[in-house]
Structure 1
Amino acid sequence: MIRTSAHPCTFNVASQDRSFGPWTVHGSEVFCESDLSYAFVNLKPVVPGHVLVSSKRVVPRFLDLSDEESTDLWRLAKRVAGVMEQHCGVSALTLVIQDGADAGQTVPHVHVHVLPRRKGDFEENDQVYDAIDAASQDQAAALRSHAEHHDKDVHVDAKTSEERVPRSAEDMAAEARKLRPLFG
């Protein structure tokens, strides 16, 4: 049984690119949208099925969202979480917001990490938070470095972790294509 809200989720094949802080998420990487939020695949997922949900309006902190935006963000996160739990065949999830630099936020745009979890996926359960921090810092550093020298919307290969390598734009688009029908 899918435990999701009836929150409408749409996707237009010609979906527009979205800003993610100072960077661009290509429409091909977006798999679900609501009026004020969107869900997209992750460049460097911590676990299989690790996706992100963000507000469409670029705001750095959760408290900067309007009441309508924060409600929409969490409703979409709940919908995405329910579908990803079933799709990945798991019985648990971790949902995380790193709100501000002191909390580990590396992209100055509100976003929720949705991570499908399996028993034993980390030696100690709380290691997932260290993995999110490390992946976020690696990704942001690589994106900043690349943006200084190239187009801001090109995906960067930040090979600081042997276990998690950044995926190509083609791989990310393929994952988004597989996920879209689940939200129909």
Structure 2
Amino acid sequence: MSPPPTPFDPGVQSSHEDPSSCPFCRIAATYPHYDPSDPPPPTSPILDPDATSPDPATFVVLSTPRLIAFLDIMPLSTGHVLLCPRAHRPKLTDATPAEAAEAGRFLRVLSAAVARATGVGDWNVVQNNGAAAAQVVPHMHFHLIPRPELRDRGRERFTATMFGRGQREDLDEEEAAGLAGEIRAAVAELMLAEEGGPKL
């Protein structure tokens, strides 16, 4: 008996929703890329959080030709960031090798930037594939979730939160604008330091 096909098999396609209805594709199309080591000022029109109106405001923290990262609109904790490819890729196995490599690079940088901006030194990186795995938006994305006060949470809440489920609240837009600016600034500092040689 042969094993089940995988998305890498040439005759198999993973389920794709219409990219025109994908909220992450709309965000990627709305916000142009910029040099992460020299982000535009917070007042720049290319970072205008109302640009996606009437959709929820988007607070971009990283924008490259291949990837975009922004604050989650229903965060599990302050600083909860989503990182995804600009192109519509439903699952991790749909990403190109170049997208996957760049995502790995920036997961590391964003993790350090979010920790620096929030002051929270522990976090989860979560990536869900498919509805049964708790993926809500069928556009591949990584969650970076700062984890303050873990000892105060019950095991059930910890497990749910770790997999992208759990108690969530609407993003406070005023707080989000400041935090997004701090994360972009931290990304720039980290990128410049890395270009100069020292590791994160």
State the TM bucket, normalised to the shorter chain: 0.5 to 0.7
Choose between structure 1 and 2: higher strand proportion.
1
Which of 92, 117, 120 in structure 1 is aligned with 2:151?
Answer: 120
Mapped to 2, the partners of 1:90 and 1:170 lie a distance apart of 20
Aligned to 2:46: 15
Residues 63 and 96 of structure 1: is their aligned pair in 2 closer, same or farther, counting only changes over 3 Å?
Answer: same
* TM-score, normalised with respect to structure 1: 0.65
Residues 90 and 133 of structure 1: is their aligned pair in 2 closer, same or farther, counting only changes over 3 Å?
Answer: closer
Aligned to 1:96: 126
Q: CA deviation at 1:48?
A: 1.8
Q: Please list every run of 5 or more consecutive structure 1 residues that lacks an aligned counterpart in the other structure.
A: 1-7, 18-22, 136-160
Q: CA deviation at 1:134?
A: 3.4
Mapped to 2, the partners of 1:90 and 1:29 lie a distance apart of 20
Aligned to 2:186: 182
Aligned to 1:81: 111
Q: Indicate if the aligned counterparts of 1:43 and 1:172 stay in contact, CA closer than 8 A.
A: no
Q: Indicate if the aligned counterparts of 2:60 and 2:69 stay in contact, CA closer than 8 A.
A: yes
Aligned to 1:53: 83
Q: For residue 46 of structure 2, give the secondary structure of its aligned residue in structure 1.
A: coil
State the one-letter code of the partner of 1:182: A
| Total equivalences in the alignment | 144
Which structure is larger by alpha-carbon Rg, 1 or 2?
2
Q: CA deviation at 1:85?
A: 1.7
Identity of aligned residues (%): 23
Deviates more, 1:85-94 or 1:68-77: 85-94
Q: Please list every run of 5 or more consecutive structure 2 residues that lacks an aligned counterpart in the other structure.
A: 1-34, 49-53, 189-200
Q: CA deviation at 1:82?
A: 1.1
Mapped to 2, the partners of 1:168 and 1:83 lie a distance apart of 20
Q: Indicate if the aligned counterparts of 2:116 and 2:186 stay in contact, CA closer than 8 A.
A: no
Aligned to 1:166: 170
State the one-letter code of the partner of 1:32: L
* TM-score, normalised with respect to structure 2: 0.61
Q: Indicate if the aligned counterparts of 1:58 and 1:109 stay in contact, CA closer than 8 A.
A: yes
